[in-house]
């Protein structure tokens, strides 16, 4: 997930900056949290809504590598567990 997550963070920044184009993924799309950079960006936006500053904290932790435990440490669940919640929120499960 690390490479997709890094690119997803970049697209998350674009999303939050208002640089969204019409063909971007919509909230709730995708079958995995790392399916595409755009799906990951929307998923990260959801995670950040659960804990303000989450994406910045995750980015800091990733300076020396990646672990799914970063999500557990910061939010209490794995990325896959949060993706189930994310899909349910947008009724796209």
Q: Name the residue with tokens 């910045």.
A: 56
The 3-state DSSP class for residue 36 equals coil
* Whole-number average pLDDT of the chain: 92
pTM: 0.91
Specify the pLDDT at position 15. 93
CA 64 to chain centroid, in Å, comes to 19
Residues 6+ apart with CB under 8 A from 46: 27, 82, 86, 89
Using one digit for the tens of pLDDT, what is the confidence trace for 39-54?
A: 999 999 999 999 999 9
pLDDT in tens, 20-37: 877 888 899 999 999 999
């Amino acid at each position: 997930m690390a490479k997709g997550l890094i690119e997803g963070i970049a697209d998350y920044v674009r999303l939050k900056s208002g640089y969204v184009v019409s063909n971007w993924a919509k909230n709730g799309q995708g079958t995995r949290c790392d399916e595409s950079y755009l799906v990951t960006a929307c998923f990260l936006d959801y995670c950040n809504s659960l804990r303000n500053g989450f994406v910045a904290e995750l980015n800091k932790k990733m300076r020396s590598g990646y672990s799914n435990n970063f999500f557990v440490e910061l939010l209490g669940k794995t990325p896959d567990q949060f993706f189930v919640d994310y899909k349910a929120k947008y009724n796209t499960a």
